[in-house]
Structure 1
């Protein structure tokens, strides 16, 4: 069964993390492909070493084309080489031993599932303990049934980076398939830089993101609302509340609050101007 899985790792300028990610995957899947978004020489050197020692297959892009383009290259390879499943991975997520085999066993139990995702061990906090149907799955560590993509469609390249997973998850559900979280499969995934703030004796955990990431997060959230409101209002209301609370957190806690809020404003404006893809201006 493991030989029926193609792993696609999207890389961009972190060779050390990439090596750890690939080493954890070898032996769990039939083939590992690295799609590199125009990384620098250090990361390219790491990829070449992985190719020489582990036989991974690299694809080098001439520019940073975004996660959607990179994942769709993996989808194309999976189709051409007749893989049944594609495992999508970030370069800094580590698959626990037997993660893939555990997810494949969950797929046997849920025949109407197009997507199987692992439980997250984020910053040492274990999440999830049994299989259950969920509303969405992050990109990293997710198994996608290749033949379901014919009705679901490929990954959205217009979003460039953020909310690609949410948009894909909504299309999976709207096509009539389930997304299942496998409680016995674990992925060590870093959510971002965690800042802990003491509020009257309570340690409040806040995730820091770069201003550019904030731009994509809020621009693409509005594209999600515009595209899926009629069919998925409850999901989008919950996500909108989280996004609004994120602005409150930025205003109170973020050391780069002004530039972050500025980039959120640009993201909102660009959505209304129908601008998508890679952010082209400086901030």
Structure 2
């Protein structure tokens, strides 16, 4: 592998899959699909126990000995990929599924986009809802960017301010310029923080319609209150803390350069509180959310 510019092939790419208490020994999973598509795949395992199964299906298995957070696990894989000279990195969660031509299509896109594009995300079908996710878009302004709801580009792709990390192709030059994932975030908003950091450094982040990924986002169910439709995330109390804290941290970090982030943060923080009303384990979740809000406001980011 080498970092010189030119056409990117499968041999120039490393896929990273972060595993956590991987359930079952399914022959068909994201790891085997990536390997079958000819991509060198690193599995970074955040589980409590070493997995002989995961180690048996990939030649590069790294066991963390416990949950060190998705950011640190991703960074382990990213650094190993860069050491191998990868020109680009594919990042996946264990609960994502890809079609048989995923890597081919992603590389076709990577080799055709302008050089200022640093992050390419797939179009994601949420298996919980059966609907495609619609990440916020953005446009540039004098201070940095403004987050918008509308799609800013009429071509095959649009600019994405808050895409989901799983399935992303990130050019190695982005890591070399802006750094890796923020490990203090541990789990939630890791992808958005990195994405905004890259955008403000001058790179563009896009969602491309030619690349499709199936992904399970939380454990959503639909709640109807009159004309209002809610989809509570059903995240654990543990996750609620990081969702609240990290989104506030992120606002404090980028508020001068990302117009509209304040509204997005407020909606995220408040929606998580509302969701708890329709979820189990309410007391623990309210406590965790409140602590996350307080720590987000008072602690150093």
Pairwise TM-score range, normalised by the shorter structure: 0.7 to 0.9
SS in 2 for 1:186: strand
CA distance in 1, matches of 2:164, 2:240: 17
SS in 1 for 2:192: helix
1:96 matched residue in structure 2: 99
How many residues align? The count is 269
1:256 matched residue in structure 2: 281
1:73 matched to 2:76? The reply is yes
Superposed displacement of residue 131, structure 1: 1.7
CA distance in 1, matches of 2:91, 2:225: 38
When the two structures are superposed, what TM-score results if normalisation uses the length of structure 1? 0.87
1:7 matched residue in structure 2: 15
When the two structures are superposed, what TM-score results if normalisation uses the length of structure 2? 0.82
Superposed displacement of residue 257, structure 1: 2.4
1:117 matched to 2:121? The reply is yes
CA distance in 1, matches of 2:248, 2:65: 29
CA distance in 1, matches of 2:21, 2:171: 29
2:198 matched residue in structure 1: 172
1:199 matched to 2:212? The reply is no
CA distance in 2, matches of 1:89, 1:72: 13
CA distance in 2, matches of 1:265, 1:80: 41
1:39/1:15 CA distance change after superposition, 3 Å? farther
1:117-266 map, 5 Å: 117-123=121-127, 124-127=130-133, 130-200=156-226, 204-251=230-277, 253-266=278-291
Identify unmatched segments of 5+ residues in structure 1: 277-283
1:79/1:121 CA distance change after superposition, 3 Å? same
SS in 2 for 1:117: strand
Counterpart among 30, 39, 45 of residue 52 in structure 2: 45
CA distance in 1, matches of 2:227, 2:119: 41
CA RMSD of aligned residues (A): 2.2
Superposed displacement of residue 230, structure 1: 0.7
More helix by share: 1
1:17/1:209 CA distance change after superposition, 3 Å? farther
Q: Deviations over 1:104-124 (max 9, x none)?
A: 222222321110000001123
CA distance in 1, matches of 2:175, 2:229: 43
Identify unmatched segments of 5+ residues in structure 2: 1-8, 135-154
Superposed displacement of residue 27, structure 1: 3.3
The runs of at least 4 aligned residues of structure 1 exceeding 6 Å deviation read: none
